[in-house]
Structures are given as C-alpha cells and as structure tokens.
Amino acid sequence: MQKFDAVVVGGGPGGYACAIRLSQNGLRTALVEEGELGGTCLNRGCIPTKALLHAADIYHTATHGGPFGIDARGVTFDYARILARKDAVVRQLGGGIAFLEQNYGVTVFRSRAVLEARDLVALDSGERLSCGSLVVATGSRPAPLPIPGAELPGVVDSTGLLERTVCPRRIVIVGGGVAGVEFATFFCRLGVGVTLVERLDRVLPSMDREVSRFVADELTRCGVELVLGAGVESIAPGLEVRYTAKDGAAGSAGGDVVLLAAGRVPNTGGIGLETIGVELDAGGYVKTDGACRTSVPGVYAVGDITGKMHLAHVATAQGTMAADHIAGKPCRQLDLARVPSCVYCSPEASMVGLTEEQARAAGRVTGTGVFSLSGNGMSLLMGQPRGFVKLVFDRDTEELLGFHMVGPRAAELAAGAAAVMTCGGTIGDLGGTVHPHPTVSEAVMEAAHVCRGNSVHVSKDLQAHGAGERDG
C-alpha cells in the first residue's frame, strides 16, 4: 500500500489542477485517472469542439471574402484534415498536462478507482492508496434520452459525434443548449443541412432573452432549421426524428446522423461514494460547501460532480481552491455569480452575473445600457457589426449586476466584466476606464455610458430610454 498526503480521483480540469496545486503546497500527491488526462473538456468537449469551430470559421471567411475585396475561388474543406488538426491540438495539450504532473512530482495512476474508505482508494490493478485527504473529480457524461430509437446506429451523443470520421450531409440535433448550438454553428458553416429541435421555446435558455433571441435569428440566417417548443417522441429507422409541438401538431426531421445534446449527468455512481457516506442530492450530484468539502470530513469534491456549473474553468478554480484549503492556506471561496459563461456560436455569446429578469426577481431596481456593435469601428471593419453589449445595473447604487454580449470576441471580453463585478465595481468604474481604439472592447465602455445617458456614439432619443439598438 502506498501512502500519500492527498489522492485525487479524476484527471479532468478540476482534478489535474488540484493535484498540481497540492504538490505546489508541499503535499505528497497521487492522481488517479482511468482515461485520458484532461478529462472531457480536453478530449471530448471544450478543446476539440472549438478546434472544429475555428476551422469552420476559417472556411466561412474564405468563402465570404467578397465584401473585403478578396476573391478566393474554389475553396473547399477536407474534413479528415480538420479532424486531424483537432486531434493534434488535443494530443499536444494532453502531453503538456502529463509533463506538468511529472514536473511537480505528482504520482499518476492510470486506473479505475473505487473508494473503500474515507482514506483508502482501491485501484483495479489491485493496488491500494491511503491518504490524509481525498478529492473526487470524476466529472460528468452526456445525459441519455429515454426515447424510442435512441439506440439506433447513427444516433450519437457529443462524444460519438466527435469520433465520426465522415462529415454528414444532414444532421438533426436534439437540444438547444450550449452543445447543440455550437454543433449547429459548426455544421451549418460547412454547408451541412441542420435541423435543431428544442423542447423549450428558445435556445440557450439560461442566457438573457435578448441574447438567445439574437442567436436563434443568426442560426436561422445561417440556414439552420429551428424547431422550438417541440418534444421529441421517437427516432424511427432511417433516422427520422419525430416530435410534437406544444399545440399538439406532429412533425419530423431526418438526417444521416442524429445528435442527442440534452444535458449531462454526474459520474458519481459505482465509485464508492455511498460506501464512505458522501451525501448526494436528488440528481446524483455531490453536496458540497463553499470550500468544496463533502459531508465526510477530509473528503472534497470538485468539478461537474458538484452540480454547480458544468464549466471547465469552474472545475479548475474549485480544484485549486480545495488544494489550498487542504494545505491550510488562506483561500477565497468561489463566487459563482461572477463566473463567465460563453457560447462559441457565430457570433459568440457570453454572460456574467444576473439577467434583467433575475435582477428584478431579486428585488433590485434595475436599469440597462445597450450598445449596438453597428456603432463599433472594429466590429464594422471586421465585417461583424451584428450584435450588442447589454449591461444590467442597480439604479440606486450603480453596481454592475450583469454583463451580456453577443458579437465578435464576446468570450474574451467577459473576463473584464467579471473582474469589475468581483471587485464590486460600478458602471461608472467600467465607463470611466479608457479602452483602446479601435477595439471591440470599446462597446463595453459605450454600454456603460449609455447606462448614464452620456454616450457620445448613441443618439439622444435612444439614450433617453437607457438603451441603444440591439442589432446591426
């Protein structure tokens, strides 16, 4: 039996970062991972999908260069080479993680782990690891859809879709959340026929309504057939997705592949959590406090299995915080209300904090400031003037409550808004920060000016209502 100060089970963004930070804190650390280091994010999620989306963006730009005076004729894409580059990026990053674990002295076990006690982890190799502290970071997996026909060949989840080596001619996507919207964006920009079926009345239901409406319009402009407010009843042979609308009308859509993108479930079963007494909620997620401690002393949980936010950057932040807490170091608990969420559609969408509806429900006296990217020089010269920045603020205190953006570089700009909100900043702080010109970031500053009614790039009548135009 090998003895460690800490054992981390799961090598995704939360687990591998936690293991490194534990070692940095002077603790003898083991990391157990039965699959690939980097977890879902690196191998089957964030990185491979964004690699695909970037390739699709390049292809779309090359085939739509006319307005810029660029005539690139006969542009084609090679799907196999797109996949090969995606795989190369994943391998490089995975190799980097392996190097860092070795560099910091973390002992990595490539094995399945079962928790036998609060301080004892059994590996399928027969070896046992004892530990002072235990961190569980086993992640999540695509949620299965209990509908007839889900088992048919050609019906896949996101993992299965990434493993396919042939570009479909037509695809039906079930689910209008982040994964569904991103895959719809990727395929439609390659010219693939796409139908997206969502049971709710809008895509990206967790985002600001104006943002989700804008994204839906852009998907339609790209050629995606949106079927909203429709529940999937079955998938018939021949990959015909049959659905029923809220008014009872029946419909169907067919393709040569069907993607089920209906959320994720935690990997908490069969690893011994119940054996050692870790409390789970009704959805199977591990209950944790603000320091990621479970109901069992000395046992922590980080990442998707906590059910807080299914985001890689949240998992990493939780992992490093838990490692500092274990080491007895001062650590600030993670404020999930200040964490950016991003969707890599075209154009990108991002948010931090509260939507307008949420702020009002919380009893805040809210105001908004909106700046259209049609008035932003960088967006215009890039040929991407469609989109907007929307800020939600407290009219009494001017506290910045929410940041919402759809447009180029929206994901990158969310971090700045998050920093302002984390520091308790106001729209005055945001608007008073001089932004470089020409940049898309200027639109954030202008939206703050609109909040106060003093933007020099928005007409008087629009600012009188505290909001500019929403689109380009």
3-state secondary structure labels for all residues of 24-61: HCCCCEEEECCCCCCHHHHHHCHHHHHHHHHHHHHHHH
Instruction: Give CA–CA dist 70/61, Å, rounded.
Output: 10
Read off the tokens for 411: 């994901």
The DSSP element (H or E) to which 365 belongs, if any, is: none
Rg of the chain (C-alpha set): 24
Active-site residue (options: 64, 310, 435, 437)? 437
Beta bridge partners of 155: 258
SS3 279: coil
- The DSSP call for residue 293 is B
Instruction: Give CA–CA dist 280/73, Å, rounded.
Output: 57
Read off the tokens for 318: 């939780």
Range list of H helices, 108-199? 158-163, 178-189
Which letter, b or e, does each residue of 428-452 get, where b requires 16 or more Cβ atoms within 10 Å of its Cβ? eebbeeebeeebbbbbbbbbbbbbb
Task: Find out whether 134 and 30 touch, Cβ atoms under 8 Å.
Answer: no
Residues 6+ apart with CB under 8 A from 84: none
- The DSSP call for residue 69 is T
Q: Determine whether 437 is an active site residue.
A: yes
Read off the tokens for 215: 């994204």
Q: What are phi and psi of 450, to 5 degrees?
A: -60, -35
Instruction: Give CA–CA dist 356/197, Å, rounded.
Output: 26
Beta bridge partners of 225: 195
Instruction: Give CA–CA dist 266/284, Å, rounded.
Output: 7
User: Which residues are marked as active site?
Assistant: 437
